[in-house]
Amino acid sequence: MENILNFLFQKKIIAPILIFVFTCFIVKWSKLIISTLFTKGKDSFEKKRRTTIIELANRIFKFFVYAIAIMMILDVYGVDTKGILASLGIAGVVLGFALQDTVQDFMSGIYIILENYYVIGDTIRVNDFQGEVIEVSLKTTKVMSATGETYIFSNRNVSSVVNLSQSRAGVKIVVPTAYEEKTEKVETILKLIVKEAKKLPDVESDSKYLGIESFDASSINYAIILYCKSSEQWNIKRTVLKLIKDVYEKENVKIPYNQIEVHNDK
């Protein structure tokens, strides 16, 4: 037993184990502590921004901690770590030229956070793809659409990204109404609908009734506009369209639709 204990407590056996355990402990608890301290008591936007920064910083921190741990373990076994570091420095310069796109991705990943282009939880549009940012790493960004597809693009393509969460949208709704309905009555109803829509969480106070939009073959088209967060525009539109339908039915206001009249010629 004494021989076994002496073997196990040799520097070359116990030191790597302790270094590995201590490294895992630092990585795990530093992420938890930093996340708690830096997001506590913040508003939703600032919390999203800080969460993204923390995720990115943790990835960088974890890389350096594990790199240091590996160097310490190699040093225990008598490997010349200074020579390795010098070689890595030269190799890094060579790889920097060979992997220019990757280096550009890394730099863009840092700029995305520092310049607040977008953060985890934002809704963005990349080319024709729209969705929520679910992950930002040093090299890529992952975006998930409302239907579950995940789109991954390189950070160097950030110039083609439109952030829909940091701007507002104007949702214009055109309401076709029968010609026989009194204009004053329709306008009063639509103004009341806009007033009700303003009570929704994401609708802004300058939303308004616009007036008569156009005359169609079977309807007068009235228009309202609702200002809201870009990420919520489609939800707002669906909610208000339902509200319009319910109010029109309640007030017996007719929404015309195409009808076909068939004549039976004997």
pLDDT digits (tens, 9 = 90+) for 23-70: 888 878 777 776 676 665 555 555 666 666 677 677 777 878 888 888
Query: In this predicted structure, which of 17-26, 35-44, 71-80, 103-112 has the lowest mean pLDDT?
Result: 35-44
CB 169 within 8 A of CB 229: yes
Q: In this predicted structure, what is the pLDDT of residue 239?
A: 93
Q: In this predicted structure, what is the pLDDT of residue 62?
A: 80
Give 92 or 241, the one with higher predicted confidence: 241
Please check the confidence at residue 84 and state whether its pLDDT lies above 90.
no
Q: In this predicted structure, what is the pLDDT of residue 244?
A: 94
Percent of the chain with pLDDT over 90: 24
Percent of the chain with pLDDT over 70: 74
Question: What fold, for 114-163?
Answer: SH3 type barrels. (2.30.30)
Return the H-helix or E-strand segment holding 5. helix 2-8
Residue ranges per domain, the chain?
A: 2-98, 114-163, 168-250
CATH of 2-98, one of 3.30.2000, 1.10.8, 1.10.287, 1.10.3470: 1.10.287
Q: Using one digit for the tens of pLDDT, what is the confidence trace for 216-225?
A: 888 999 999 9
CA–CA separation, 18 and 5 (whole Å): 16
> What pTM does this model have?
0.49
Q: Using one digit for the tens of pLDDT, what is the confidence trace for 203-215?
A: 888 899 999 999 9
Q: Using one digit for the tens of pLDDT, what is the confidence trace for 226-255?
A: 998 777 888 899 999 999 999 999 999 998
168-250 matches 114-163 in CATH topology: no
Architecture of the CATH domain 168-250: 2-Layer Sandwich (3.30)
Give 131 or 266, the one with higher predicted confidence: 131
Single out the residue of 56, 40, 165 nearest to residue 113, CA to CA: 56
Band the pLDDT of 98: cuts 50, 70, 90: very low
- Dihedral Cα 45, 47, 52, 54, nearest 10 deg: 160
CA–CA separation, 210 and 195 (whole Å): 13
At 154 the three-state DSSP class reads strand
Interval 108-132 mean pLDDT: 79
Single out the residue of 10, 54, 22 nearest to residue 36, CA to CA: 54
Interval 81-90 mean pLDDT: 62
Q: In this predicted structure, what is the pLDDT of residue 47?
A: 63
